[in-house]
Amino acid sequence: MSIAFLEDIWSRNLLNVQVSPLSSVEYLAGLVLFSLGKVAFAVAVMAGLALGLYGFGVTSLGVGLVPFMGVLLVLGWSLGLIGIAAVLRFGENAQVVAWSLVFVVQPLAGIFYPVSVLPAPLQTVAWFLPASHVFEGMRTVLGGGAVPWDRLAWAAGLNVAYLAATLGLFAWALRYARRHGKLSRFGE
């Protein structure tokens, strides 16, 4: 999502978008739909490659992982909104936030290893990330267990809170950028 926003900056199109009759909600909806299209395309390509090259059918995993993927997608939108807000507030040099935010969250999310291997203080932090609940739940499903709905509920609840907070952050950063004339400086 933040990359699509950055592409508007790089193509010097952000100012045109902001002066058009398009509302901020419509712009964000477009970014979300575009990200959904990119995810669907990437999943289709990767699933095809996995089937063709390795004989592995993604559908063999079952539908138990689909809700977890949806929660991860919403977390990605929240992280994207943080990146967009940082660029709006601090200018184009804050692009590093949009590029690196996922890599900051990744070690705490338990993607490659269980959260239990983290030191105790980091485990506490990790449980405040929806991705930690998602990957622990996915491990349970892949291990043959039932879908841990409690983990999914915690992740979804955290996502709702984080998405609301990041939408507020985006609105604040956009107001700040408009008030201080920062939008006209993008792409110079």
pLDDT bin (cut points 50, 70, 90) of residue 169 is: very high
Whole-number average pLDDT of the chain: 89
The identity of residue 25, as a single letter, is V
CA 112 to centroid of chain Cα atoms: 18
Dihedral angle of Cα 24, 183, 168, 25, to the nearest 10 degrees: 10
Q: What local confidence, expressed as pLDDT, does residue 185 receive?
A: 77
Residues in the chain: 188
pLDDT at 187 (0 to 100) = 58
Q: What whole-number distance in Å separates Cα of residue 126 and Cα of residue 132?
A: 6
Q: For position 134, what pLDDT does the model report?
A: 93
pTM of the model: 0.87
Q: Of 105-119, 146-160, 173-187, give the lowest mean pLDDT range.
A: 173-187
153: confidence class by pLDDT, cuts 50, 70, 90: very high
Q: Which ranges of the chain does DSSP label H, i.e. alpha helix?
A: 2-10, 14-19, 24-54, 66-90, 95-105, 120-126, 130-142, 149-179
pLDDT (tens digit, 9 = 90+) per residue, 32-78? 999 999 999 998 999 899 999 998 887 777 777 788 889 999 999 99
User: What are φ and ψ of residue 78, in 5° steps?
Assistant: -65, -45
